[in-house]
Structure 1
Amino acid sequence: MDDFDFSMLTQLTRWELIHVLESIVGSKELVVEQSLMRPLDKIANMSLLYEHNCKKVQQFYFDRVITWDPCATNRVFMIRPELSTVRKICEFVKAEPDFPYSIIFVEKRKNICELEFEKQGVFGQVQFYQLNFSFIPLESDLLSLELPQSFSRSSKTDYHTVAKGIWQIQSLYGLIPNQFVIGKSGIECNSVLKTVFEDQGEPSATANQPISHIFLFDRKADLGSVLMTGLTYESMLNDFFAYSCGKITFGEQVNAKLKQKNSGKNVVALNNSDSIFGAVRNRHITQVFPFLSAKAKSLQSSFDRASSLNKVEEVKNFVSNELRELKQNHKLLELHICACEVLLETNKGAADRLNMEHLIIRREADPKEVMKHLELTILRQKNPWQILQLACLWSICDDGLSPKHFRNFRDRFLHACGYEFLPILHGLRVNGLLTEKTSSSALNPVRDIIPGSGKTTFPQIVKNMNLTVDSGAPFDPKTATKPSYVFSDAYLPLIVQILSHTLDGWNQTKLQKSLGPDIPIASTPSPAKLDPRIKKAVLICFIGGVSFAEVAALRQFAQNNNFRLIILTTNILNREETLGAHWMGSGEIECALYEYCKSAAPGSSSQNMESPAKTPNRHDFETEIWRLNNAISKAYKDIEKYWTEERRLESAALKTEEQFLKSNLLSSKTSTKVHEDNAKKVHVLLQNKQKELRDLEDGDLTYKNPDRAKAMLTQLETRYNNQRFSNAREERLIVHEIERAKRNLSKLNKYVPILNECKRLESEWKEARSKFQSQRKILLETRDRWQKTHQNLKKIQEPVTRLRYHLKELKAQKRVLIAKYNEERSIYNQWIRNHKTQGLNSFPQAMLHENQDDFEPFLEKKRVCQRLISYLNHLSASSDVDAQKESQRDLPKDLLDEVTEAAAQVCANNLRPQLSLDSEDSADDFPTSFAQLNLRIQENNHPAVNKKRVNGKKNVRKQTTPITHDIDHYRFFNDVNILPPKTYGDVEETLEKVKKILEFYEEQTTIAGNDDEQDLCLSPIPSVISVAGSDMFDSPLLSPHSVSSTSLFHPESVEGSPETVSRANSNHR
């Protein structure tokens, strides 16, 4: 970070502090809150404070009396705006009211604190000032605001502090062009940052700004990185020892191991100025001790080399240049070796706990084994914070503990560790870290099956973001280079995975889908992707704190990708302090005690009584059914709108052409393969023959023309016969030439046939290659035509395929929703049947037990339809009442008795009124005409009835006879949005409509009624009939909420009634 001078941020805070101190006239005695001592030490040393009349600085304690300096003119408190601290200061002011007091509020002056001073009656004796701390550099790449440990209670004050610090950084180093926001706290902080820009002025952009990207990351988006045990040396030091503002306090355990023991606390600054710590801070804990051991041997060899020096100049040079550094390194090395020993001794036997953490985070742990492990650690009196940490990790990874496991763990933990942890457990439960599964979380259909309608669970984020990739190979800390090494490759911090995805460009839609609706994200328009080549820094701001494990993982990621990272955070998270920060106030402590006593009371524990089943929420179910039905109806309309007859015919033509081209393509491919094989075969033969020629072509084959070879042989023989040789050497030369010519002629007898064969094969190969190339050209042309046709077909069919898949998903969601509700209702009814006789019940409770059908969806509408069907059947039978009465006289007495008894039985079964406590109908409102209905005798099936009437007037009501309905029936018809029949001829048609409506309502609670997969088969060429001609009651949906006398299918709001659906489907057909 050579381009950054973060001391400028410290200088800005220092100037503001000096301004506040100079505003207080006279000598001052400064009392500083404990959590502000080390941040103040980073900003100003004692000499600077003394220059501005601060004669004395002491720490503020709640349980100690302040010893004031009588020479000091002003008594100054530097505190955070907390009511408990303000009340304590009021006690000091009341004890000595004659002295002037000043309060310096760090972060922000809160009105509630000033009101508390006014309430205590000391407001006029106190002067108020405000001091804003900026980011404090802890390391060259790590800056912190050092806010209190509580990532679960981020407030507007915290957001304003973070925003002000980011504004200062951008004012110093230029406006950051690319901004990314992850999480709710990030969104809120970004909103406050915009307000700060408006108030303070937006920083100007520089031509060469050193920071290119900024990420605002909400701590609550990744709780796994906090609850997992970080296995780097720095992370384990932070978890075990007291770390604050870049310094760590080693306890007595480390001091006892040192040869030179310190009398007081051993406070050491942890930064890269310590060469030993800088080399091991980010190493895996298993690699720290071997490194320190090797370093100790190296130092010892340096001391040994010094003892062997003989010359005075060498000794003098060693003492002046090397001895001091060696002693300092030796002291630091001894300190870190002792600290490492303490860590290893303290975590002895931690392998089981770490293995259990890794199984939990990967969702591979057996709940019984986890509970057994927790019980063993409690019995062994292990660190209670480690026990809570593992339980919280189990809870968030399993979306809550089962009631049995939760209560068993809570009771055993409190009995073993003390009831002072009860407020902590309550706070963890309120903040969602240690929760109990409820029936609503297990059976809530909306959250489980409808995307975007419920809470996004941590396991879903881990799975979607691929944070627990198991490579299969065992973890080797010596060669580990992935950022996940900080957790032994068991888990990758979410922020690292987000940075990794951003390397290829910011895909907000994909990332939002992976994180879910509970973790909103945002960014600047068209952000640039991360590019290590531009050598610009990336700023990552953690709102709610960061762990040293995440810091090490980010540093490893930056090293792997050649990035420069700057990490900003509100505070460094310590696991024990983070869990302990959930301590509740007095009122919430009382609430925690009440809940615990209530759950632990006799008769209410899980051991004595089964937890009551959750009452089915019929209203929510009907609401979701209504929403899904509207979505399904819209999907059908979209399909019908797109898949017109013109597109269907075009698709069919393209499909036919595609099949034809595909057939030609396969044929061309086969033919091309044949020609290719033939050409290869000929080429192989040609190469073999050419090889034979090359083998024959040696020094003897001088002449390849037979005539010329023969002529040369004849010439040489003639020369031999006619020439007189002067010596034997000349004769041997000519003989050698003659023999060579004869060998030439002999090889020509073999060479010429092979040469002729080669020429033939070469000609044949050229012809075969020409055919292959010609056929391949045809193949490529056919393939191009097929690909073009296939793309055109895909372009036409892809939208409708996508719509039909969407329709299939909606219907699947509806089926699952119905199954969930039916299961919940079945569980509740079973629980009611099992417990309705246990104990005394009030009258409403008893009636609730008896009226379990009230949880049946659309119950009121079904009853209205059933009553109308009975009424319309009565009207249909009454249309021939006089003729039936007259024919009844002619029936035999035994047949008349039999028919009368059967009619009475049917009336008793069909017309018994069904009452509901929730219904507006009662026994008094039940239509009197229903009780007077008589079953009409079907005369046509008995021979005695079919006698032809000779005498007697036939009094049959005509089809055009008007019908007068009473007010109750008009209300029933209005409830189902059907016009009542005006004449007896309209009764049958109205009856069919009512039956269809009842059938529709029955299908809303039946999975089989919504299982029409035959309409969703994704054939390559879908037709209009197959897409739009589904079951008429499955496409349009009705509003489920109208239980009053208002119409269910209101003309202005209806999406589609059963009648509307029927007409629509008839139009499709």
Structure 2
Amino acid sequence: MAFAGRRDAPEAPDFGILKRLARDQLIYLLEQLPGKKDLFIEADLMSPLDRIANVSILKQHEVDKLYKVESRPAPSSSDQFCFLVRPRIRTMRYIADIVNADKMSGRSRKYKIIFSPQKFYACEMVLEEEGVFGDVTCDEWSFYLLPLDEDIISMELPEFFRDYFLEGDHRWINSIARALQLLNSLYGPFGKVYGIGRCAKMSYELWRDLEEESEGDSQGRKPEIGNIFLMDRDTDYVTALCSQVVYEGLVDDTFRIKCGSVDFGPDVTSSDKSIKVLLNAQDKVFSQIRNEHFSSVFGFLSQKSRNLQAQYDRRRGMDIKQMKNFVSQELKGLKQEHRLLSLHIGACESIMKKKTKQDFQEMIKAEHSLLEGFDIRESTSFIEEHIDRQVSPTESLRLMCLLSLTENGLVPKDYRSLKTQYLQSYGPEHLLTFHNLKRMGLLTEQSAGETLTAVESKVSKLVTDRAAGKITDAFNSLARKSNFRAISKKLGLIPRVDGEYDLKMPRDMAYVFSGAYVPLSCKIIEQVRPPIGVPPPCVSPCAPASFQGVRWGPSPRAGAPAGPEPELLPRPPGAGAPGLAGPGGGGAAAQRQRVLSLRVQVHLPDHGHHQQRPHDGGHHRGQGVRPGRGPQTPRQ
């Protein structure tokens, strides 16, 4: 299989430590409320909680009944209520209503609120305004990072993208900084820290402040993480907006991967029940096809089925002793693999049916034309037809945003026409959607005399590292017509291929988009930290410049050990604010970035880039970069 694994890849850190720490802290917080208790859990914390502590563990620590925060609790005889929630205003009002209702009925209980990952002052203010602050006790479950696989950890903060990009809310910066502090204390000290964007810069600076205050003892230890890359999501919107064509990406598009697992419905399971499947390296079938281009997956599954059948057939010639060994040692594993194989075959069939209905091939063709800058008028006509046929409101918006980003905004005539057709097809309530997309720079209208002054001022200072010269030229020579087109040409984001692009044995990261496009964020990291055996590009020194050009972070305290020296990478066109994404290195499957879940990725020390496995949206793959699910339509 393509990029099946690197023999020289170093062993990943043991991220299971993060899970054990989170579990122990949660148990400690629950035991602070001795005796039987009812636990109210916010909906988006249920899946992460299940990965950390399942129902049996909760029952062992005297949790009697479980409720979702959205639902009104049934009458309960419990004298203690515990709430495991995100720090949200509406949730505080929900809790206040329960407490006040008990007061009015004369019911006396103990109430404990556990905020994850941290509590905010605004939440305490709401509790005080509602008159219940003195009736509850508040605590924090510092659950910053959830291991999703052997080489992927996630912050699982779905609201971060909207909060920071659209609302300009900086409240989650502290959580990112504390996540970095946790990683550094367990697996550090880090080698170098590279970053692009204001959110990345603020997170880094706050993390350095926290390190100085805590005076951690990570210095002197052998580092398990070599380099950290912090990237604002808006650095590379284009990658997140392109259709995914590797197996894992299509599973995410079709079924939605949440917290590392997916629910396969009756159309996949061939039964009346849905099955929840954990998608990670423990699934032997999935681990072999997750990064494969979808065109190769059916052939692999067919061969896998024949191999399994051959293993089953071996039992026919066995004697009694051999049969006993087969049943005790192999049969269970073969049955499990057969079950998973059936599920993934069913998933592939379901994906094919859905994509056929959506004219997937035509949509891919239109995307490739937009990326390459050819047949723009024909692609615009395809988008109009897509809207008029009401194929998918989200897909239509995604194509419009991709057109806007690759063309540096829409021509006013096209913008008005597409907007009008969209509102007529999907309803006037989407006026707010267009407003939000415009605020974030995803769907904009060209203005007369538009210049690149703002962009140039943001990207003028670059790292004085291996790729500085090449990246400097790329960003300083942006054309006035299309920023994306200029940087794409300079960094070679559109591969030049003689003849057919080999999707089964690809030579670069472009295979995650059928050979049409190399993810920008991955390409930048490849330039800064080339793969093993690849010589670094020529470097020319960079002159200091304004705001985004300053080197990050304060100098270490006098007498303190020197920390990692930060470097500032260039900021691509259309930049605005945050998202925490990870490295994508060179080589295997490129992008697993996710917009709505901040993914912390790592490069291991002394070995260049780890095996890429395509995030995130995400997402998000290089040692963790996911061929991304694009930004979702902002909530209205």
Q: Shorter-chain TM-score category?
A: 0.7 to 0.9
> Structure 1's 416 and 311: CA in aligned 2 closer, same or farther, altered over 3 A?
same
Cα deviation per residue 1:851-900 (whole Å; 9 max; x = unaligned)? xxxxxxxxxxxxxxxxxxxxxxxxxxxxxxxxxxxxxxxxxxxxxxxxxx
- The answer on 1:465 being equivalent to 2:491 is yes
Cα deviation per residue 1:542-586 (whole Å; 9 max; x = unaligned)? 94457999993169x999x873369998874389986446224xx
Number of the residue aligned with 1:272: 281
- The answer on 1:482 being equivalent to 2:528 is no
1:73 to 79, 89, 94: 79
- The answer on 1:373 being equivalent to 2:410 is no
Q: 2:66 is paired with a residue of what secondary structure? A: strand
Choose 1 or 2 for highest CA Rg. 1
Provide the rounded CA distance (Å) in 2 between the counterparts of 1:201 and 1:567: 35
Percent of matched pairs sharing the same residue: 30
**1:382 deviation in Å?**
1.1
- The answer on 1:552 being equivalent to 2:598 is no
- Whether the 8 Å CA contact 2:522–2:584 is kept in 1: the answer is no
Number of the residue aligned with 1:394: 403
Q: 1:421 is paired with a residue of what secondary structure? A: helix
Equivalent residues in 2 for 1:314-713, closer than 5 Å: 314-348=322-356, 349-366=359-376, 368-439=377-448, 442-444=449-451, 457-502=483-528, 503=530, 522=551, 543-544=579-580, 552-553=589-590, 563-564=609-610, 572-573=618-619, 579-580=631-632, 582-584=634-636
Provide the rounded CA distance (Å) in 2 between the counterparts of 1:129 and 1:527: 33
Provide the rounded CA distance (Å) in 2 between the counterparts of 1:282 and 1:18: 37
- The answer on 1:119 being equivalent to 2:165 is no
**1:275 deviation in Å?**
0.5
Q: 1:381 is paired with a residue of what secondary structure? A: coil
**1:459 deviation in Å?**
3.8
Provide the rounded CA distance (Å) in 1 between the counterparts of 2:628 and 2:488: 24
- Whether the 8 Å CA contact 1:276–1:332 is kept in 2: the answer is yes
Residue type of the partner of 1:474? E
2:150 to 128, 136, 140: 140
1:185 to 199, 214, 229: 199
Number of the residue aligned with 1:941: none
Number of the residue aligned with 2:99: 93
- Whether the 8 Å CA contact 1:150–1:582 is kept in 2: the answer is no
Residue type of the partner of 1:86? M
Provide the rounded CA distance (Å) in 2 between the counterparts of 1:336 and 1:392: 32
2:218 to 204, 228, 240: 204
**1:36 deviation in Å?**
0.6
Q: 1:222 is paired with a residue of what secondary structure? A: helix
**1:195 deviation in Å?**
1.7
- Whether the 8 Å CA contact 1:30–1:54 is kept in 2: the answer is yes
With normalisation by structure 1, the TM-score equals 0.48
Number of the residue aligned with 1:27: 36
**1:328 deviation in Å?**
1.3
Residue type of the partner of 2:619? L
- The answer on 1:291 being equivalent to 2:300 is yes
1:6 to 15, 20, 30: 15
1:171 to 165, 185, 190: 185
**1:217 deviation in Å?**
1.8
Segments of structure 2 that go 5 or more residues without pairing to the other structure are 1-9, 461-474, 556-562, 567-577, 593-601, 621-626
Residue type of the partner of 2:309? Q
Residue type of the partner of 2:48? P
> Structure 1's 55 and 390: CA in aligned 2 closer, same or farther, altered over 3 A?
same
Provide the rounded CA distance (Å) in 1 between the counterparts of 2:495 and 2:537: 22
With normalisation by structure 2, the TM-score equals 0.79
RMSD over equivalenced CA pairs, Å: 3.7
Provide the rounded CA distance (Å) in 2 between the counterparts of 1:135 and 1:576: 20
- Whether the 8 Å CA contact 2:233–2:581 is kept in 1: the answer is yes
Provide the rounded CA distance (Å) in 1 between the counterparts of 2:229 and 2:512: 22
Cα deviation per residue 1:477-505 (whole Å; 9 max; x = unaligned)? 12213122111222212232223222366
Provide the rounded CA distance (Å) in 2 between the counterparts of 1:333 and 1:319: 20
**1:159 deviation in Å?**
2.0
> Structure 1's 83 and 577: CA in aligned 2 closer, same or farther, altered over 3 A?
farther
Q: 2:226 is paired with a residue of what secondary structure? A: strand
Cα deviation per residue 1:144-177 (whole Å; 9 max; x = unaligned)? 1111154353343322212212212221223113
- Whether the 8 Å CA contact 1:230–1:486 is kept in 2: the answer is yes
Provide the rounded CA distance (Å) in 2 between the counterparts of 1:197 and 1:489: 43
> Structure 1's 449 and 494: CA in aligned 2 closer, same or farther, altered over 3 A?
closer
> Structure 1's 448 and 325: CA in aligned 2 closer, same or farther, altered over 3 A?
closer
- Whether the 8 Å CA contact 1:108–1:131 is kept in 2: the answer is yes
- Whether the 8 Å CA contact 1:146–1:570 is kept in 2: the answer is no
**1:4 deviation in Å?**
2.3
Q: 2:228 is paired with a residue of what secondary structure? A: strand
- Whether the 8 Å CA contact 1:219–1:546 is kept in 2: the answer is no
Cα deviation per residue 1:295-349 (whole Å; 9 max; x = unaligned)? 111222233333x336333333332222222211111111000101111121123
Provide the rounded CA distance (Å) in 2 between the counterparts of 1:335 and 1:224: 32
Cα deviation per residue 1:336-371 (whole Å; 9 max; x = unaligned)? 0010111112112311111111111122232x2122
- Whether the 8 Å CA contact 2:241–2:628 is kept in 1: the answer is no
Provide the rounded CA distance (Å) in 2 between the counterparts of 1:388 and 1:405: 14
Provide the rounded CA distance (Å) in 2 between the counterparts of 1:451 and 1:242: 35
- Whether the 8 Å CA contact 2:160–2:579 is kept in 1: the answer is no
Provide the rounded CA distance (Å) in 2 between the counterparts of 1:512 and 1:482: 32
Higher normalized helix content (fraction of residues)? 1
Residue type of the partner of 1:582? P
- Whether the 8 Å CA contact 1:186–1:217 is kept in 2: the answer is yes
Residue type of the partner of 1:83? I
> Structure 1's 564 and 450: CA in aligned 2 closer, same or farther, altered over 3 A?
closer
Provide the rounded CA distance (Å) in 2 between the counterparts of 1:325 and 1:472: 44
> Structure 1's 283 and 543: CA in aligned 2 closer, same or farther, altered over 3 A?
same
- Whether the 8 Å CA contact 2:200–2:580 is kept in 1: the answer is no
